Amino acid sequence: MQAEQVRQVVLDIIADVSMEDDLSNIKDEVALRDQLDLDSMDFLDIVMELKKRHKVEVPQEDYPRLASLSSCVEYLTPKMMQ
């Protein structure tokens, strides 16, 4: 999976988890929690959806690597190519 595809996967999952947020103006380098109304349960839902939909395991110690959209893409792209 290419980086742009991974970016879209992440956006699709966020859209499903946080339906009331407008994702059209997401800045890649800014923390998602600073841009969206995501709480810790929403974040866990995103991690669970990655596992459910794409069989990607994210260990708890790696959660900080999913802070922004660009860091999500950077972290997940190699995992989704396996």
* pLDDT 10s digits, 2-52: 999 999 999 999 999 988 888 999 999 999 999 998 899 999 999 999 999
Domain locations along the chain = 3-80
Question: What is the sign of the dihedral through the CA atoms of 12, 14, 17 and 22?
Answer: negative
Q: What is the CATH number of domain 3-80?
A: 1.10.1200.10
Location of structure tokens 């595809």: 5
The span from the first CA to the last CA of the chain, in angstroms, equals 9
Q: What Å distances lie between residue 62 and 21, 23, 44, 72, CA to CA? A: 25, 24, 12, 10
Q: What is the pLDDT, as a whole number, of residue 52?
A: 96
